[in-house]
């Protein structure tokens, strides 16, 4: 796989489905990203409190947590901080119209490639 101009982007992959989280993490590492896979929005918030914001958050909209929309809320928080955040979902969420999303129906490499396009745009 290629690299992103030899940049080592820090990416959090937050998804309660272990198989998808692991596949995406591996695909992103193939592009030269430094990836931390996490299962819940709470884990992501803890990571952020210790290490700061990542370059990109790739999250499931309904990460396993106390609230169904924690993935969307976390993405909105990162977006407000000027960081890239993308939610993997089937449909956009009416309560979070400004949050970027991608359809989660592709392969891990397809989803990773689409997610990484945010770095090409900046």
**107 bridge partner residues:** none
> In the prediction, which pLDDT does 46 show?
93
Q: How many structural domains are present in the chain?
A: 1
Mean pLDDT of 53-76: 73
> For the segment 87-114, what is each residue's pLDDT rounded down to a tens digit?
776 655 555 555 666 666 566 667 777 7
pLDDT band at 48 (very low <50, low <70, confident <90, very high): very high
Task: Specify if 73 maps to a domain.
Answer: yes
Task: Specify if 40 maps to a domain.
Answer: yes
Quote the mean pLDDT of the chain: 76
Which structural domain, as residue segments, surrounds residue 38? Answer: 10-121
Q: How far apart are CA 56 and CA 54, in angstroms?
A: 5
Q: How far apart are CA 76 and CA 96, in angstroms?
A: 7
CATH label of the domain that carries residue 100: 3.40.50.2300
Task: Specify if 82 maps to a domain.
Answer: yes
């Amino acid at each position: 796989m290629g690299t992103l101009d030899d940049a080592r982007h820090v990416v959090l992959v937050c998804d309660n489905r272990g198989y998808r989280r692991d596949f995406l993490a591996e695909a992103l590492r193939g592009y030269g990203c430094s990836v931390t896979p996490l299962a819940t929005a709470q884990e992501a918030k803890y990571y952020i409190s210790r290490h700061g914001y990542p370059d990109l958050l790739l999250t499931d909209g309904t990460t396993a947590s106390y609230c169904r929309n924690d993935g969307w809320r976390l993405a909105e928080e990162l977006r407000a901080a000027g960081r890239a955040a993308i939610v993997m979902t089937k449909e956009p969420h009416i309560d979070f119209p400004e949050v970027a999303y991608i359809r989660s129906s592709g392969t891990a490499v397809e989803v990773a490639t689409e997610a990484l396009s945010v770095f090409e745009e900046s």
